[in-house]
C-alpha cells in the first residue's frame, strides 16, 4: 500500500540553511496528497527529494521497499515525475512536440514509441492541437499543461507538482485540478502536490501534510486537520472559506453541527437538511 517512504530526511543548503529537519512520511499508492505550509517551510525542498534531484543529508527515501541508493537515477526520474512551480524553468525545447518528446527520447525508445507517447501525453492534458506550436506562443496555463505532458510521457507512477495552480486564473485552476483528479482517479497515478490554496484541499485531496519550519507538523484527512484550529493557526494556515463560514455559524450563531462541513457540497447538504427539519418543526 505504501509506494514511497520518506524516512527522517534532513537537508541543509550550501549557505547553512536547514530546510528539512527530519521529515518522515509514508505516501500511499494511488493517493492524492497535498503538502501545505507557509512560504519557506520546506515544501519545495521536500518535493525535490522525491525524484532524487536533491540528496538528503541524513535519512533515506524508499521506493517500493528499495532505497533510492539502490536505483539508477534514471529509473527514479522515470517513475517519479516532478513538475516545477514555474513552467519556464522546465520547458526548454523550441516546440511543444520536441519538449514532450525529450524524456521518452532519453529513455532510448523507438521513434514510433516516442511519437505514440507524445500523442498520448498531449491528449491526456488536452493539448493535441498545440503539438507544432512554439513554446513562446503558449499562455502560462498552457505551458503548465505541457510541463505535465512532458512528465506524463515518461509514464510515471508518481506525479509531484510544486504549487501548480499558482499564477492561473480561477477557470485555469478548476481545469487543472480536474485534470489532476482524472489522472489520479482514472489512471491511478499517485499525486503529491504542494499548495497554499486551502480551498482546493477538501474538494480534491485525500490527505494533507502540514510543513512548518522544515518539519512535518501533521498528516491526516482534511476532516482531521481542519478540525484542529490551534494547529492551523500555529502553521499560519487558514480554514477553507466554506469551513470558516460554517465555523462562524456554529460558534457565533449557535447552529449545531457534529462535524464542520468543508466543501460547498457538504455545507449545502447540511443546510438543506437543517432548513427542511426546521420547516417540519414549524408545520407540526
Ligand atoms: N537554493 C537555496 N539556497 C539556500 N537556501 C534555500 C535555497 N532554497 C530554499 N532555501 C531555504 O530553505 C528553506 C525552505 O525553502 P523551500 O523549500 O523553498 O520552502 P517552501 O517551498 O515551503 O516555500 C527556506 O528557509 C529557504 O529560504
Ligand atoms: Mg516552494
Ligand 1, atom nearest to 38 Cα? 22
- Give 6 Cα–ligand 1 centroid separation in angstroms: 19
Q: Whose CA is nearest to atom 25 of ligand 1?
A: 40
Reported as a pLDDT band with limits 50, 70 and 90, residue 284 is very low
Ligand with smallest separation from the Cα of 42: 1
Residue 82 has pLDDT above 90, yes or no: yes
Q: Is 42 in the pocket of ligand 1 (CB under 6 A)?
A: yes
Which residue from 247, 240, 167 is spatially nearest to 199, judged by alpha carbons?
Answer: 240
Ligand with smallest separation from the Cα of 163: 2
Residue 282 has pLDDT above 70, yes or no: no
For the chain, what percent of residues have pLDDT higher than 70?
98
Q: What is the pLDDT of residue 283?
A: 47
What digits encode the pLDDT tens for the residues 166-185?
A: 988 899 999 999 999 999 99
In the predicted model, what is the mean pLDDT of the chain? Answer: 94
Q: Is 37 in the pocket of ligand 1 (CB under 6 A)?
A: yes
Q: Whose CA is nearest to atom 6 of ligand 1?
A: 13
Q: Is 59 in the pocket of ligand 1 (CB under 6 A)?
A: no
What digits encode the pLDDT tens for the residues 187-227?
A: 999 999 999 999 999 999 999 999 999 999 999 999 999 99
Q: Is 16 in the pocket of ligand 1 (CB under 6 A)?
A: no
Q: Is 40 in the pocket of ligand 1 (CB under 6 A)?
A: yes
Residue 24 has pLDDT above 80, yes or no: yes
Q: What is the pLDDT of residue 280?
A: 55
Q: What is the pLDDT of residue 144?
A: 94
Say how many C-beta atoms besides its own lie within 10 A of residue 209's C-beta: 23
Q: Is 45 in the pocket of ligand 1 (CB under 6 A)?
A: yes
Q: Whose CA is nearest to atom 26 of ligand 1?
A: 40
Sign of CA dihedral 170, 172, 175, 178: negative
- Give 50 Cα–ligand 2 centroid separation in angstroms: 14
Grid cell 540528496 is found at 55
What digits encode the pLDDT tens for the residues 97-128?
A: 999 999 999 999 999 999 999 999 999 999 99
Q: Whose CA is nearest to atom 20 of ligand 1?
A: 40
Helical ranges in 80-226 per DSSP H: 87-90, 96-106, 111-124, 140-152, 170-185, 201-204, 222-226
**CA-to-CA dists, residue 170 to 1, 17, 73, 167, 200, angstroms:** 34, 35, 37, 10, 11
Q: Are 226 and 194 within 8 A, CB to CB?
A: no
Sign of CA dihedral 250, 256, 262, 265: negative
Residue 80: which H helix or E strand, with range?
A: strand 80-83
DSSP state of 240: -
Q: Are 130 and 96 within 8 A, CB to CB?
A: yes
Ligand 1, atom nearest to 162 Cα? 21
Cell digits for 234? 500555529
Q: Are 205 and 167 within 8 A, CB to CB?
A: no
Q: What domains, with CATH codes, occur in the chain? A: 2-93+157-238 (3.40.50.300), 239-284 (no CATH)
Q: Is 84 in the pocket of ligand 1 (CB under 6 A)?
A: no
- Give 216 Cα–ligand 1 centroid separation in angstroms: 15
Cell digits for 14? 550550501
Q: Are 134 and 94 within 8 A, CB to CB?
A: yes
Q: Is 44 in the pocket of ligand 1 (CB under 6 A)?
A: yes
Buried b (16+ CB within 10 A) or exposed e, 49-76: bbbbbbebeebebbbeeeebeebeeeeb
What digits encode the pLDDT tens for the residues 39-63?
A: 999 999 999 999 999 999 999 999 9
Q: Is 85 in the pocket of ligand 1 (CB under 6 A)?
A: no
For the chain, what percent of residues have pLDDT higher than 90?
90
Amino acid at each position: 500500500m505504501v509506494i514511497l517512504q520518506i524516512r527522517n530526511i534532513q537537508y541543509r543548503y550550501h549557505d547553512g540553511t536547514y530546510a528539512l529537519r527530519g521529515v518522515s512520511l509514508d505516501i500511499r499508492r494511488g493517493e492524492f496528497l497535498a503538502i501545505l505550509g507557509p512560504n519557506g517551510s520546506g515544501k519545495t525542498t521536500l518535493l525535490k527529494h522525491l525524484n532524487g534531484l536533491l540528496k538528503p543529508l541524513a535519512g533515506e527515501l524508499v521506493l517500493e521497499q528499495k532505497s533510492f541508493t539502490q536505483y539508477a537515477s534514471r529509473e527514479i526520474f522515470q517513475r517519479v515525475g516532478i513538475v516545477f512551480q514555474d513552467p519556464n524553468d522546465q520547458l526548454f525545447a523550441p516546440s511543444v512536440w520536441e519538449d514532450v518528446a525529450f524524456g521518452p527520447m532519453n529513455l532510448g525508445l523507438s521513434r514510433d514509441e516516442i511519437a505514440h507517447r507524445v500523442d498520448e501525453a498531449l491528449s491526456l492534458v488536452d493539448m493535441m492541437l498545440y503539438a507544432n506550436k512554439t513554446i513562446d506562443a503558449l499562455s502560462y496555463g498552457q505551458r503548465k499543461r505541457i510541463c505535465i505532458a512532458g512528465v506524463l510521457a515518461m509514464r510515471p507512477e508518481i506525479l509531484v507538482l510544486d504549487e501548480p495552480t499558482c499564477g492561473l486564473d480561477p477557470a485555469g485552476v478548476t481545469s487543472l485540478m480536474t485534470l489532476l483528479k482524472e489522472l489520479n482517479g482514472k489512471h491511478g497515478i499517485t499525486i503529491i502536490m504542494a499548495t497554499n490554496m486551502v480551498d482546493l484541499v477538501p474538494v480534491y485531496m485525500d490527505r494533507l501534510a502540514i510543513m512548518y519550519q522544515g518539519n512535518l507538523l501533521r498528516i491526516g484527512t482534511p476532516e482531521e486537520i481542519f478540525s484542529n484550529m490551534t494547529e492551523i493557526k500555529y502553521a499560519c494556515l487558514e480554514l477553507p472559506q466554506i469551513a470558516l463560514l460554517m465555523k462562524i455559524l456554529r460558534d457565533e450563531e449557535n447552529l449545531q453541527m457534529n462535524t464542520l462541513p468543508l466543501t460547498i457540497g457538504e455545507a449545502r447538504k447540511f443546510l438543506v437538511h437543517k432548513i427542511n427539519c426546521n420547516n417540519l418543526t414549524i408545520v407540526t
